[in-house]
Amino acid sequence: MTKQIRSPLPGTFYRKPAPDQPNFVEDNAGVKAGEVIGLVEVMKSFHEVKAEEDGNNVRFLADNEAPIMAGAVLAEMD
Amino acid sequence: MDLTGKTLFIANRGEIAVRINRAAKALGMKVAQAYSEADADMLAVRLSDDAYEVGPPQAAKSYLDIGRLLEAASQSGADAIHPGYGFLSENAEFAGAVDEAGMVFVGPAAETIALMGDKAAARAAAVRAGTPVAPGSDGRIETPADARAVADRIGFPLMIKAAAGGGGRGIRIARNQEDLERLVPQARSEAQAAFGDGGLYLERLLENARHVEVQILGDGKRAIHLFERECSLQRRRQKVWEEAPAVCLSDDQRQSICEASVKLAESVSYRGAGTLEYLFDPGAGTFAFLEMNTRVQVEHPVSEFVTGVDIVQEMIRLAFGESLSLSQNDVSRNGHAIEVRVNAEDPMNNFMPFPGVVGAMSVPDNVRFDTMLYEGYAIPPFYDSLLGKLIVHGETRADALSKLQAALAEFKIEGLKTTLPLYEMLALDPDVAADKFHTQFLENWLETHLSVPA
């Protein structure tokens, strides 16, 4: 079954903690519930986005530094 | 010079774009407005004669893209570009590029921006002009041995500051030798990563000091001051409440810091509006130069209220090469002004940002509200949270404070969480009323006065 990870906030999505660091989660990796999968920058403050459940084969639909709306699907996983 | 019919291109957004628009229109100018894809509905676009999209929502690809902005500006037939504050306002490369493109940059010369943007060089310029500075290093420190030698001379606690920092960014505090050894290499690599320049300098830390700043105007030869502002109420080194004048100063202290500021501005042939920021130690009665901001500041309206000078109009005239129309004797102080920054943040929930849709607004009479808001406006999440500034003017500080209390009781913005409830509390606080605060006051106050859910 396909699961979705949505952004709780509107803003700019980041897949890594800083420009010179690796992604929180690589494409096709697995995640545990509560694991940070990215950051959303809203009005210059940064908020973590966490996976709400375990999943495998994560596929990101939002690019690094993409503008997103609240509720946007950031990634799908199995 | 008659500016009627000339075109001003505004390379900024939000409330300051609206403020600049108003000044340009008052001078008879036409306004061309830059906007990102996320800002097509903003008030400054609606008020402009012409508007130009300059890229996607991310500031790096729009409001910070020099090529896109210059292209749009020349398409608009602009005679001048106003950079506002933030974004490219203190970017020497941008100022130079505007000049090369044959347009007027509303700000000082690129070389002045570069000089004052290097905070270690700015400190050296202040020392040369006789402006008071905190004990510190003469320019940059190159080696750990340099740092130790300076620390031996000036003592702890001290600040390790990035030469390319400013606005409270790139500062670390060392309370002892051990901290210094540990933090200097860290600060150097962080400054290198954040600013592309690992240069550092050291300054003695003043604790429980007040932030006092002097507004100046210069025409490249002569400079005048528009007195000072008090901006100690800060959260995370960001000002939230500003006043003019700083009633903590005696007349002698006021005169001496204002005159020192004019001297520093003249020593760098300053053209335009600028601000010299200081820390003031009320116990010792001494000032220490922090930095110079070579642009219009968010809190400029409080100075406009007490002096009657329109700072934004003046800076546009000065940029076009006019001489100062005022002499120092023409500038007098009248009453007391207070500004509070209305941010889209929930003070009861750890200042969580709240981009939303503006509902019904009710703004009291007899106040100035510089804002980007209108009813039905959807605030984009991509930029800072400043929605507007509420400014009141009274005969005395007590009078201004009671006008602020009355205005806040009436002020309503539906649909959003804002910082207005915080100011309602602060305006009633006995320490604030007694002018008993310093730059660390507000953060302590928030911990004891606001119940912040974990």
Find tokens 């061309």 and name the residue.
B32
Question: For chain B, which residues lie within 8 Å of any Cβ of chain A, measuring from their own Cβ?
Answer: 38, 56-58, 193, 344-345, 351-353, 355, 381-385
CATH superfamily label, B135-204 = ATP-grasp fold, A domain (3.30.1490.20)
Search chain A and give the residue with CA nearest B38.
A67
Q: Where are the domains of chain A?
A: 3-77
Per the annotation, the verdict on B295 as an active-site residue is yes
A57/chain B closest Cα distance in angstroms? 29
Q: What is the mean pLDDT of residues B83-108?
A: 97
Task: Give the tens place of pLDDT for each residue, B234-285.
Answer: 998 899 999 999 999 999 999 999 999 999 999 999 999 999 999 999 999 9
pLDDT at B451: 65
Task: Give the tens place of pLDDT for each residue, B385-435.
Answer: 999 999 999 999 999 999 999 999 999 999 999 999 999 999 999 999 999
Q: Which residues of B163-190 are buried (b: 16+ CB within 10 A; e: fewer)?
A: bbbbeeebbbebeeeebbeebbeebbeb
Burial (CB count within 10 angstroms: exposed 0-12, middle 13-18, buried 19+), residue B145: exposed
Stretch(es) of chain B classified as CATH 3.30.1490.20: 135-204
Identity of the residue in A44, A65, A67 whose CB atom sits nearest the CB atom of B38: A67
pLDDT at B162 over 70: yes
Q: What is the mean pLDDT of residues B309-333?
A: 97
A48/chain B closest Cα distance in angstroms? 13
B209/chain A closest Cα distance in angstroms? 27
Size of interface A-B (CB pairs under 8 A): 37
Largest interatomic CA distance in chain A: 36
The better pLDDT of the pair B140, B193 is held by: B140
- Contact criterion met (CB < 8 Å) for A65 and B56: no
pLDDT at B195 over 90: no
A47/chain B closest Cα distance in angstroms? 10
The topology (CATH level 3) of B7-106 is: Rossmann fold (3.40.50)
Mean pLDDT of all residues belonging to chain B? 95
> Is residue A17 less than 8 Å (CB to CB) from chain B?
no
What is the CA angle A20-A49-A46, rounded to 5?
Answer: 60
pLDDT at B192: 85
pLDDT at B88: 96
Provide the percentage of residues in chain B whose pLDDT is more than 90.
90
- Give the DSSP letter of residue A9: S
pLDDT at B452: 55
Search chain A and give the residue with CA nearest B56.
A67
Task: Give the tens place of pLDDT for each residue, B32-75.
Answer: 999 999 999 999 999 999 999 999 999 999 999 999 999 999 99
CATH no., domain B210-449: 3.30.470.20
> Is residue A11 less than 8 Å (CB to CB) from chain B?
yes
pLDDT at A57: 95
Identity of the residue in B193, B345, B382 whose CB atom sits nearest the CB atom of A20: B193
pLDDT at B169: 77
Chain B hits for A20, CB-CB cut-off 8 Å, are 193
> Is residue A44 less than 8 Å (CB to CB) from chain B?
yes
Q: For every residue of chain B, which 3-state class applies, written as one string?
A: CCCCCCEEEECCCHHHHHHHHHHHHHCCCEEEEEECHHHCCCHHHHHCCEEEECCCCCHHHCCCCHHHHHHHHHHCCCCEEECCCCCCCCCHHHHHHHHHCCCEECCCCHHHHHHHHCHHHHHHHHHHHCCCCCCECCCCECCHHHHHHHHHHHCCCEEEEEEEEECCEEEEEECCHHHHHHHHHHHHHHHHHHHCCCCEEEEECCCCCEEEEEEEEEECCCEEEEEEEEEEEEECCEEEEEEECCCCCCHHHHHHHHHHHHHHHHHCCCEEEEEEEEEEECCCCEEEEEEEECCCCCCHHHHHHHHCCCHHHHHHHHHCCCCCCCCHHHCCCCCEEEEEEEECEEHHHCCEECCCECCCEECCCCCEEEECCCCCCECCCCCCCEEEEEEEEECCHHHHHHHHHHHHHHCEECCCCCCHHHHHHHHCCHHHHCCCCCCCHHHHHHHHHCCCCC
Rounded Cα–Cα distance for residues B42 and B193 (Å): 34
- Give the DSSP letter of residue A17: S
pLDDT at B299: 98
> Is residue A63 less than 8 Å (CB to CB) from chain B?
no
Chain B hits for A12, CB-CB cut-off 8 Å, are 57-58, 381-382
Chain A hits for B383, CB-CB cut-off 8 Å, are 43-44
The topology (CATH level 3) of A3-77 is: OB fold (Dihydrolipoamide Acetyltransferase, E2P) (2.40.50)
Give the active site residue among B295, B341, B368, B397: B295
pLDDT at B454 over 50: no
Task: Give the tens place of pLDDT for each residue, A38-67.
Answer: 999 999 888 999 999 999 999 999 999 999
Q: List phi, psi (to 5°) of A21.
A: -115, 160
